[in-house]
Amino acid sequence: MIAELATLFGVMLIAILTGVPVFLSMAFGVVVFAIAFAPLMSPLVVVQTFQQGLDNQAFTAIPYFFLAGTIMNVGGMSARLLRLARAMIAHIRGGLSHANIAASVVFAGISGSAVADAAAVGSVMIPAMKRDGYSPSYAAAVTAASATIGLVIPPSIPMVIFALFTGASVGSLFLAGIVPGLLMGAFLLVASYIIARRRRYPASKWQGTGELIAAFRASFLALLMPVLVIVGLVGGFATTSEIGAVAALYATIVSTVIYREANLKQLFQGVVQAALDAARVLIIIGVSGAFIWIVARLSVANNLALFLLDMQFGPTTILALIALGLIIAGTILEPVTILVVLVPMLVPAALASGIDITHLGIVVVLSTSIGLITPPVGILLYITAAQAQAPALQVVRETMPFLLALLVLLTTIVLVPAVTLWLPG
Amino acid sequence: MAKRFHSLLTKALSVMLAALLVAMTMLEIVQVIMRYFAGSGFVWTGDVTVILMQSLAWIGAPALWLMRGHIAVELISGSGKGRASALALVVDAGIVAGGAALLYYGQDALAAFANIDIPSLGTTGDIKYYPMMAGALLLVIAGLLNLATGSRYTSASDQTS
């Protein structure tokens, strides 16, 4: 089994690290495996598993949630949410840094994608922070760190993928993500406040309760979307896919009919963008069908579960090991690859040791979201560094306090399941 | 000529992707409406949305290939023109070979599933392989077009996670 796995994962990792697109790297690993260990996997099985990777209606939820988030974004929601964030918190020392984090928290509730959050929040907040005297690298760092919240606060596309690959309840995962997501915001705010005091960053003028209420009213319909999604799922009114489609319809109506901020051209561009974003993820899921077939054929998950049970590790130790492993994997791989390639192998071991599947899901998603800001391959660092026109190495350095805050939170969540489980419970 | 075709194909695939996503979403919404207001939905909606989603993935793949927009680790593609060009050459050749192999072996899958019925659609199981076959063909074309136009890697900072 070791030789088979080493071939499969070795070829895939070498290809990924050489810059080959992830889906092609995975396919390359599968093809080399099929040739090296013929007749274990015939070419017909390779083709079948590529097709069967996507032969599941539940996966249709992924493009719908991309569509809902993108339309909300093109419909002017980001400006409204940023106004709300500034009205809430910008008057505290280091105000724009805090507002950036608060904006990511509220934006996370409509997008489900960390990159979308970074792009939307960063495009407005980074120039504003630079004008206010913050260093470009700090502005980029705080934007990147806070964008990770997008994967944890519902609706979250990685949570949907985790649920589809493990059989967990999407509704429970969404509910369970609320407290950790808000805590991510709180931990990052504490780090931001300490930095602001040390560096004597400025505070913006308090704009009054009137502005706060006006900003809240202006963004109310956007804030309502995550509520509708969670109520729909937890209340059992519709399936995850149907809720996703209804959320997309809601976003379209709010953006075009009620706020009238998106015209037909913008709407079309939003649909194209959402379709491309969804295709990026779906093609990886499709190819992962072959990976899952091989892993099942080699009984990797069962063997791993037996090994961990033999070692007599407790559930907390196993969960901590999973979190550590995913953070290390996250320094190179992005969340979707981790979720479709590594997580299905880990789940049986985790469940056999008594870890709650929802708790596991939150730890997995939080760990992979932290991977988005860890070098050498932290995609958010590079996006925000480009937005701020700051050297990536300086952005990495400025991100360290925020990374530490998120690691402290992850440790807390691993050690205290109640933080995650009390709301769905 | 190749550049013009590259651009035209990218645009055509983008429009097709948008149409697929809109069609999927509308079908799903109609299904919800039918279930709540007419008591039951259509039996074929599930299978049709899956085929549309597979088409979105497999037609999206060549569209993203033409745009150099697939999720990738930018250790090499972002580190110097020469290496990025060499990488582009290798992966384009790789996708042409891979797409051709998928087309070749996909024929066996089409034949194997041509006799298996999908009752909800009133057709046979090979229909679910057509999106992949179309995607494989388009990936070959996309790879060849990238080779012909000398398309290189640029920053993939619009990737999704």
Kindly report, residue by residue over A271-308, the tens digit of the pLDDT. Answer: 999 999 999 999 999 999 998 899 888 888 888 888 88
Kindly state the DSSP code that residue A204 receives in the 8-state scheme: P
Residue A375: other Cβ atoms inside 10 A: 16
Q: For B97, which residue in chain A has the nearest alpha carbon?
A: A28
Best of A18, A326, A372, A389 to disrupt the B interface by mutation (most B CBs within 10 Å)? Answer: A18
Helix (H/G/I), strand (E/B), else coil: A94:
coil
Q: Which of residues A138 and A379 earns the better pLDDT score?
A: A138
Residue A45: other Cβ atoms inside 10 A: 20
Alpha helices in A253-391 (DSSP H): 264-297, 300-310, 315-330, 335-337, 343-352, 357-370, 379-388
Name the CA dihedral angle for A209, A215, A217, A221, rounded to a multiple of 10 degrees. -150
Question: Which structure tokens are listed for B30?
Answer: 């109609």
Helix (H/G/I), strand (E/B), else coil: B124:
strand
Stretch A233-239: mean pLDDT: 86
**Model's pTM, two decimal places?**
0.88
Name the CA dihedral angle for B98, B99, B100, B102, rounded to a multiple of 10 degrees. 90
- For tokens 């922070």, what's the residue? A129
Residue B76 pLDDT level (bands cut at 50, 70, 90): low
Residue B32 pLDDT level (bands cut at 50, 70, 90): very high
pLDDT at A375 exceeding the cut of 70:
yes
Residue A407 pLDDT level (bands cut at 50, 70, 90): very high
Question: Which secondary structure element, helix H or strand E, spans residue A234, and what is its range?
Answer: helix A208-234
Which member of B14, B50, B153 has the closest CB to residue A55?
B50
Note the pLDDT of residue B154: 59
Q: Going by C-beta distance under 8 Å and a sequence separation of 6 or more, which residues neighbour residue A198?
A: none
**pLDDT > 90: percent of chain A:** 46
Pick the most confident of A286-290, A292-296, A326-330, B131-135.
B131-135
Alpha-carbon gap, residue A294 to A317, rounded angstroms: 28
Note the pLDDT of residue B77: 54
Note the pLDDT of residue A355: 93
- Rg (C-alpha) for chain A, rounded Å, is 21
pLDDT at A128 exceeding the cut of 70:
yes
Q: Going by C-beta distance under 8 Å and a sequence separation of 6 or more, which residues neighbour residue A354?
A: A315
pLDDT at A76 exceeding the cut of 80:
no
- Evaluate whether ipTM surpasses 0.95: no
Scan residues 302-321 of A and list those with Cβ closer than 8 Å to B: none
Q: Going by C-beta distance under 8 Å and a sequence separation of 6 or more, which residues neighbour residue A416?
A: none
- For tokens 């109520």, what's the residue? A231
Residue B10: other Cβ atoms inside 10 A: 17
Note the pLDDT of residue B80: 63
pLDDT at A141 exceeding the cut of 90:
yes
Stretch A378-394: mean pLDDT: 86
Note the pLDDT of residue A425: 78
Which member of A242, A245, A284 has the closest CB to residue B71?
A284
A335: left (phi over 0), alpha (psi -120 to 50) or beta: alpha
pLDDT at B158 exceeding the cut of 60:
no
Does any CB of chain B come closer than 8 Å to the CB of residue A48?
yes
Note the pLDDT of residue B161: 40
Task: Please state which of the ranges A111-120, A231-240, B24-33 shows the lowest mean pLDDT.
Answer: A111-120
Shortest Cα distance, chain A CAs vs residue B1, angstroms:
25
Q: For A365, which residue in chain B has the nearest alpha carbon?
A: B161
Does any CB of chain B come closer than 8 Å to the CB of residue A271?
yes
Which member of B22, B105, B153 has the closest CB to residue A47?
B105
Alpha-carbon gap, residue A86 to A187, rounded angstroms: 18
Q: Which residue in A65, A51, A279, A70 sits closest to A158, CA to CA?
A: A65
Alpha-carbon gap, residue B102 to B96, rounded angstroms: 10
Our CA angle for B10, B75, A335, nearest 5°, is 75
Cα distances from B74 to residues A244, B64, B140, B155, B157, in angstroms, run 31, 16, 23, 8, 10
Q: Which of residues B155 and A279 earns the better pLDDT score?
A: A279
Mean of the per-residue pLDDT values of chain A: 89
pLDDT at B118 exceeding the cut of 90:
no
Residue B75 pLDDT level (bands cut at 50, 70, 90): low
Instruction: Check A275 against B60: CB less than 8 A apart.
Output: yes
Note the pLDDT of residue B81: 65
Q: Give the pLDDT confidence of A159-198 residue by residue, as tens digits.
A: 999 998 898 999 999 999 999 999 999 999 999 999 999 9
Stretch A62-87: mean pLDDT: 85
Q: Going by C-beta distance under 8 Å and a sequence separation of 6 or more, which residues neighbour residue A200?
A: A93
Q: Going by C-beta distance under 8 Å and a sequence separation of 6 or more, which residues neighbour residue A57?
A: A241, B46, B49, B50
Q: Which positions in chain B touch A47 (Cβ < 8 Å)?
A: 102, 105-106, 108-109, 129, 132
- Counted residue by residue, chain B has a size of 161
CB pairs under 8 A between A and B: 208
Which member of B28, B77, B161 has the closest CB to residue A241?
B28
